[in-house]
Structure 1
């Protein structure tokens, strides 16, 4: 069977989908704040006994959780801060999330993305204009979907794969675009020890606090600014 056979091309994406379904069924409720609280001493002990290996394992777990869209990614991010502090914890979180995002991106692009992008290139009318508009403003659009809190992370991984975004642009925009959110939640995780001691729960809605939310909106506006400038100058090809 040739490697170009449609089934083989879609196999990575099929495995991802099956993994998502299995994870949603088997791990529901497992990745939680309560689980982290109950295993805090064991996790700290493992980190102290094997610091380098624990970092590698953590990044690998984060990458797989991202690739398979396992519920509870925020808890994993908090764990990164809890175990490794805000820095280098944020760096480990960003690395794991980026690797997982690339895995999902490549699976989607290999399975469907290349063909969808090719069909959009040869299409006519509004579909073609939308594709050309995305191509003309890729950097802005990629950063925008990373910075806007309302865009689910797995959606931001799939859309670029389906419109033919180059891998290097996806990697750079992902790694840099998730920095603000990663730093915020990692810093929350770094303070979990005190939260555990007083029997409380972390404030996961902190990203919507004015001090955090409005800077993110500002960054989003900067990301979309080049598109607005093109429109003002009359160079936007979607018109």
Structure 2
């Protein structure tokens, strides 16, 4: 009886990080929406610039920590955070700060999901037979392509791209590398939008957050998607 109780407690402990992330996401979605918005950035832009000029290193550290928390807890405002990185630090090194923070946040979600349920689910898929096993084998054979695709395709929600790899047993190093490299195109686009916010503020306009779906941006990204999928396509033709 005691052993069963300890096992149950151990199982509950494994889910605590996911529960904490889910709880913070729900609470943050209701309480932080007005603070993580373009309007908040616009209204506080002068104070942010003054603080950055007087405390550059501290601003970088606080920004990366805040962006990491936004991604980790799936809070609203990830796009605004990317734009803020460009506004405060220009396209470069702003892009580097954005990519680093997003990668760290994504990795924390990945680890929480893998520790909570991903390892068990991946093991069950590996031990199963029939269609489930074939799906797992297909994923394992094309992990790099799959990982880059879900990062490059703009329509795939970021949190989905963090959770799915954890559920199918993707190794940590593959997840981190593919995340860091895969989010570069989108991160550079949004950071460059933020770098031009001065003119946007001067005109009293709002930034175009849908710019990534415009042809001159979307077509090159789709080209990268085709390159990422090419190994899978070649394997399919060989079979």
Range into which the TM-score falls when normalised by the shorter chain = over 0.9
Please show how residues 60-75 of structure 1 align to structure 2 within 5 Å. 60-75=65-80
The aligned residue for residue 233 of structure 1 is 238
Rounded Cα–Cα distance in structure 2 between residues aligned with 1:200 and 1:73: 20
Q: What is the RMSD computed on CA atoms of the aligned residues?
A: 1.2
Alignment of 1:190-229 (within 5 A): 190-229=195-234
Could you tell me which of 157, 165, 174 is aligned with 1:169? 174
- The equivalent residue for 2:128 is 123
Task: Give the ranges of 4+ consecutive aligned residues of structure 1 lying more than 2 Å apart after TM superposition.
Answer: 1-4
- Residue 5 of structure 1: SS of its match in structure 2? helix
Deviations 1:210-239 (A, max 9, x none): 1110000000000000001011111xxxxx
> 1:110-160: per-residue Cα shift (whole Å, max 9, x none)?
001000000100111111111110000000000000000000000000000
**CA gap 1:96/1:132 in 2 versus in 1, 3 angstroms:** same
| Aligned-residue offset at 1:209 | 1.1
Cα distance in structure 2, aligned partners of 1:150 and 1:4: 38
| TM-score w.r.t. length of structure 1 | 0.96
Q: 2:211 & 2:195 partners in 1: Cα distance? A: 14
Please name the residue that 1:90 is paired with: 95
Q: CA contact under 8 A between 1:3 and 1:9: conserved in structure 2?
A: no
Task: Pick one of 8, 17, 31 that aligns with 2:36.
Answer: 31
TM-score (norm 2): 0.96
User: Which residue is 2:20 aligned to?
Assistant: 15
How far residue 29 of structure 1 moved from its aligned partner, in angstroms, is: 2.6
| 1:10 positional shift | 1.0
Residue in 1 aligned with 2:105? 100
| Structure 2 portions without partners, runs of 5+ | 1-5
User: Are the aligned partners of 1:114 and 1:164 in contact in 2 as well (CA < 8 Å)?
Assistant: yes
Partner of 2:3: none
Aligned length: 234
- Name the SS for the 1:165 alignment partner: coil
C-alpha deviation, 1:3, in angstroms: 10
Distance 1:172 1:23 in 2: 29
Q: Deviations over 1:187-219 (max 9, x none)?
A: 000000111011011111111111110000000
Q: Is the 8 A contact 1:28 1:71 kept in 2?
A: yes
Deviation at 1:2, TM superposition (A): 7.1
Alpha-carbon offset, residue 28 of structure 1: 2.2
Q: CA deviation at 1:61?
A: 0.4
Among 58, 80, 84, the residue aligned to 1:53: 58
The Cα shift of 1:25 comes to 1.7
